[in-house]
Amino acid sequence: MLKQIVYRSLLFCALLTAILWLAKSYYDSDLKEEAFARHKQTIQSARTLLHEHMLRTTQDIQQLSRFNAIRNFVISPSSETKEQAQHILLETARVFSQYDQLRIIAFDGQELIRIDNQGAEPELVATEKLQNKLTRYYVQEGLQLNPNEIYISPLDLNKEHGLIQTPYKPMVRIVSPILNNEGMPTALLVLNYKAAGLLNQFRNAFSKLDRAMLVNRDGFWLSNHFKENEWGWELNNTHLTLRNWHPNLWEQMQNNEVGSAVINDELFSYQNIHLANMYEGTSHGRYKDSLSFNSDIVDRVWTILVQSSKEQWQAGAVYKSYWFKVLLVALYVIVIALVYSLSIHRYQHKENLRLERLQLANFRDLYENAPIGYITLAADGMITNVNKMLLSYLGYKREDLVAKVNLKDLVVKDSESQAHDLLNALSEARTKQHRLLMKCKNGDTIVVSCNLTSRTDGIPTLEVGRCSVLDVSEQVKLENRLQHLAHNDPLTGLANRRYFDEFATHEFVKAQRHKSPISILAMDIDHFKKINDTYGHDVGDDILKSLANTCEGVIRSTDIMARFGGEEFVILMPDIDYDDAVIKANEIRETLAALKTPLSNGGIVQFTISIGVAAYSAELDTIDKILKSADMALYKAKESGRNKVC
């Protein structure tokens, strides 16, 4: 039982876990969608930020390169034009502190004017400190520019005298040709743009739930949440690339401008920024349209990459909350409790069913194999079931009786009223007992004691009563025999003295009530001792028996003959007066005298009797008196020579 509960609990907990896991999967995919949507939005914001900054820078350089003071100096260098150009650049540096250096560089690479803007105030670098930058890449790139082109350098760390300046100073160099009157490039305007502020704003544009990264075309980080990952190519950390970190993601990014990926439960979104297209897009288009001049920008591609770790995109998940965990534990506890109580309930139910079945089987066994017969009855007395013993009593097969025979059809005519009585008791939900004579299949009858028990719920169901049926035939025989023994003389079968007294009293009361006559004969065999002595006691017994038989053949059925003891007999004759009694006595005497009792040796023996007669009269008004009078008459008959009636 306990084992089953444990198994079931485990099963249901596993099921619950599976459901919760499924729900969590759906929920997680929603959270991921949400995170990706956030990525998309913040990438757009960051893109706008970068575009706008770079656009402003290109606008600045375009304007500056077109200023007459700048162009005049390049076209007609003089101390005056130089001063004006220096003035413009100084003023610009003062207003736009994001420019670290503002320079005009001749086509041979020589710096013509240089403004350093690192301190509180922009500083004009003295002529003797100006350098030749022909070998620098941005000068080389600048020399390649068409009149209408602007070069934007890679974002890298500023170097002074070949060494990386610390603290690191991320820098973009913007180069524009300065055109002569024929519209041909004559010199270069170079602005060193300090990107630290831009990168800070870039990082701040993203939610705390995400990690924002800016990656260059080679996969190095220009901005990374881990500072030590930045500027890998500059700091000789060439292994610190996105390509090494997530090769698959890098691969995907090479083929797609925009995209997202899920790697080890971490979410990535990316989008390339083409600085050549910074005018494009709704927020930038207005610049391009409103500008009176236009420039092509040598393309530079950066990639904005956003990463959300599992902890980050799940940060707001409901299942992370304390109460959810408490709820979850409670849920499992409830499931286990439910499984426990259901198992107990199921077990009890099964146990009850088992006991019920057992009880039913016991009942069936008791019913079927009971040592007495059973008949189950419908309300109308039709038999709906019987047991083996009943079938053995009657010799029927079950199918002969069930649903075919009514109880009253099973009894003989004499028992029909009792059967009806039983069926009445059945309809009134009573109990009743009767002795019935039942018909067996072979035509015999048996006496049964039928004890009917009705259902008391009053519902007229098919089975409304049951009769326990006991075959009492033998008992009845025994009862009859005992009764016979109690009332009769064992030798002759005649009534004994006790039964005679009961009968006589009853008849005498009747005679008194009806004022009808009643007579008594007292009889005694003459010289019976001698017969016994001569022929033996057995012959004496035979004579007594044939006397009884013979007399019973002579007297009426309403008379009763009793043996009072020895060879003395008495006959009570209701409705016979004295004279008729004397006549009857003589008839008996003569009949007996003529009776020849055979002997075993082939001979015969005869005997006579003496009879005394007395009848009810005014003087003889009790049985005792009549008996005494008959006795006295008998005595007289003996005295007067025997074989007489007195």
Ligand X SMILES: Nc1nc2c(ncn2[C@@H]2O[C@H](COP(=O)(O)OP(=O)(O)OP(=O)(O)O)[C@@H](O)[C@H]2O)c(=O)[nH]1
CA distance 260 to 197: 27
10 Å Cβ neighbour count for 211? 19
CA-to-CA separations, 119 to 94, 98, 100, 198, in angstroms, rounded: 10, 12, 9, 19
For ligand X, the closer of residues 158 and 496 by Cβ is 496
- Closer CB to ligand X, 541 or 624, in the complex: 541
Q: Which residue's CB is nearer to ligand X, number 430 or number 638? A: 638
Name which of 610, 641, 607, 638 is nearest 535 in CA terms: 607
Q: Give the span between the Cα atoms of 102 and 96, in whole angstroms.
A: 10
Report the candidate in 399, 391, 352 with the shortest Cα–Cα distance to residue 375: 391
Torsion angle of the four alpha carbons 237, 242, 248, 253, in this order, in degrees rounded to the nearest 10: -140
Residue 419 beta carbon to ligand X: minimum distance, rounded to whole angstroms = 46
- Tell me whether residue 257 or residue 541 sits nearer to ligand X (CB atom): 541
Give the chain's radius of gyration (CA, Å).
71
Nearer to ligand X, 168 or 528 (CB): 528
Per DSSP, the three-state class of 370 is coil
The rounded distance, in Å, linking the Cα atoms of 56 and 287 is 9
Q: Which residues bind ligand X (CB under 6 A)?
A: 491, 524-530, 532, 537, 540-541, 544, 566-567, 638, 642
C-beta closer to ligand X: residue 89 or 634: 634
User: What span, in angstroms and rounded, lies between the C-alpha atoms of 233 and 237?
Assistant: 6
Query: Least separation, in Å, of the C-beta of 569 and ligand X?
Result: 11
Q: Least distance from C-beta 442 to ligand X, angstroms?
A: 42
d(CA 464, CA 293): 114
CA dist 107 and 125 (Å) reads: 19
Q: How far is the CB of 527 from ligand X (least distance, A)?
A: 4
Residue whose structure tokens are 């770079």: 54
Q: Which amino acid is at 447?
A: V
Find the catalytic residue in 567, 568, 619, 639: 567
- Which residue, 362 or 600, is less far from ligand X as judged by CB? 600
Residue nearest to ligand X (CB): 540
Q: What element of type H or E holds 639?
A: helix 623-639
Closer CB to ligand X, residue 101 or residue 610? 610
Query: For residues 4-35, b (16+ Cβ closer than 10 Å) or e, as one string?
Result: ebeebbeebeeebeeeeeeebeeebeebbeeb
Q: How far is the CB of 492 from ligand X (least distance, A)?
A: 9
128 is catalytic: no
- C-alpha 645/C-alpha 636 separation (Å) is 9
The DSSP-derived string for 30-74 is HHHHHHHHHHHHHHHHHHHHHHHHHHHHHHHHHHHHH-HHHHHHH
Helix and strand numbers (H, E) in the chain are 19, 26
Maximum Cα–Cα distance across the chain: 211
User: CB atoms < 10 A from the CB of 357, how many?
Assistant: 10
Residues 6+ apart with CB under 8 A from 90: 115, 122, 124
Tokens of 423: 């069926």
Q: Which residues are catalytic?
A: 567
